[in-house]
Amino acid sequence: MQPLHLTAYTATSALGHGNAAHADALRTMRGGLRPCDFEDVDLDTWIGRVTGIEDAPITGHLAAYDCRNNRLAALALEADGFAAAVADARRRLGAARIGVFLGTSTSGILETEHAYRRRKADGALPADYRFRESHEIFSLTDFVRRHLGLRGPALTLSTACSSSAKVFATAARHIQVGWCDAAVVGGVDSLCQMTLYGFHSLQLVSAEPCRPLDAQRNGLSIGEAGSFALLEAAPRDNAVALLGYGESADAYHIARPEPNGRGALEAMRAALTRAGLDAAGLDYVNLHATGTPANDSAESRALSALLDAPPTSGTKGWTGHTLGAAGALEAVFCALSIEHGFLPGTLNLRTPDPAIGLNLVRNSRTGAPRRVLSNSLGFGGSNCSLLLGAV
């Protein structure tokens, strides 16, 4: 495929606001998880909570879109001059020639949770509840395109944990067929009670900071994040490009991954083929690595079937699992590793699971990765692999 340049990218998560905060945290092994203090949630777990959301209401002509998810999106758009970079692209290409493709799993569902707590005696929801602008799954993308003044094709993908990785593939296809010249891609998912209690009911939430790939791993930590990238086909003065992508569906179980990781393997192979690369050319693999026993095992089997021993790590020990935002957030991690020359470690890893059998990067270290693969493996076996590289 034709490389698509990441002419701007940014991340906001429990590690902070903007790329510098994330690069520093990743290199110095400084995590962002903390004991759960979200609203009145009574769970013994740790979360990756973004600071400042409560103090940043959306005002002005987009005030109707005010909700935790869109506040997080707005904070992320203003970090690293991302909105300004999009404005520059808009002047060069035209607002109608830039698409917006975003991933989320629950959008602004927290607003609905609050509205149900305020139901009237007859069961009616309060008059100020705005489903279309807050909870409806397209509300995120609608808010972002209005915030950025864009009029190109737009859609929201919601395929659980692969959502914001798959938007890179969707954008690439739109650019390839000429429906747009550039695209804003990314993902935003924010904390809510349904997610925290839902994963707790599935017995997938850890009572300690999650420990991906550890022999004693016992579940995930939930986090929130907003992350964006601007993809352009025309070469610009930048260092990183999307070289390939691969997608697959396990068609195995509504929640569990296919045990041998065959779907994940298919996605990784497709990304390599699309990039015209051999697996031996990979310098680093960012694993999905949620910290649940089944996911980590299936992914490791898939990677072992692909190639011998590339340096690999899982980064959810830093931020928690940010669900629909995870794919874009970890794509930014990979871009940072290429641009700044380091390999992220695996935070909270004490004793590597001997059954995993991968070349795990335990502590972050300097390096010169030029070809990196990032995996996102969603509920129900919705898989996506992104291949990023230096250009």
Which residues carry out catalysis? 161, 288, 321
Beta strands in the chain (DSSP E): 4-13, 16-17, 34-35, 46-48, 98-103, 154-157, 182-189, 222-223, 225-232, 240-249, 284-287, 311-314, 342-343, 359-360, 365-366, 371-378, 382-390
- Helix/strand/coil for 339: helix
**Exposure on the CB side of residue 366, measured as CA atoms within 13 A:** 0
According to DSSP, the β-strands at 34-35 and 46-48 are antiparallel
Give 132-169 as a 3 state SS string: HHHCCCCHHHHHHHHHHCCCCCEEEECCHHHHHHHHHH
Q: Which two tokens stand for residue 171?
A: 């954008």
Residue count of the chain, please give it: 391
